[in-house]
Amino acid sequence: MEHETDHACALAGVMDALPLLADDLDEDEVAAALQQGYSRHAAEKLTMFVPSAFSWVVLKRLGLKALPSHFTAYDQDDNAVRFPVANQHYFTAALTLAYNTFENGWSAALPRSTFQRVAGRSSEMNAANQVLDKEGSLEGASINTVELFRLSAEELLED
């Protein structure tokens, strides 16, 4: 039952983040606005993970073969620490919402324009667009681990 509660809370955070991420705010402004209702760590996670999750759905549809199973963050000694994607509730809630929306259609809560703007904010989508501009296809490609810089490894373990 705890996982369901975690997922429900994470999904509520994702829904709160969507209008901010779809706006013309930069990452710092989105995170600051989210801190009105969330801890700094949660706000930063939402700012990072929601665009990534949305982009993964698009990238898979564009022919990407493999997506990473973990994120990398750096600890206070600048060592890389791997975090399984599946353990990041905001990411998994956003990914589930994105897949469900792609499969079942747009809604008033998540229109196509919002989906596109949010997915377009991710570093993954930025990299994919560069490849598409040069080579024209992502068929069979894969993405290396995503490196997170807005929070340290220690901070990712909080909340």
| Confidence at residue 1, expressed as pLDDT on a 0 to 100 scale | 39
The single residue listed with the structure tokens 């509730």 is 89
| Confidence at residue 29, expressed as pLDDT on a 0 to 100 scale | 97
What string of pLDDT tens digits covers the 159 residues of the chain?
A: 344 458 889 999 999 999 999 999 999 999 999 999 999 999 999 999 999 999 999 999 888 888 889 999 999 999 999 999 999 999 999 999 999 998 999 999 999 999 999 999 998 898 888 888 887 778 877 788 888 888 889 888 775
User: Which residues does 106 contact at the CB level (< 8 Å), separation at least 6?
Assistant: 112, 115
What are the residue ranges of helices labelled H in 62-150? 89-104, 112-119, 123-135
Sheet architecture: strand order including 146-147: 80-84, 70-74, 146-147
Alpha-carbon span 121 to 88, nearest angstrom: 19
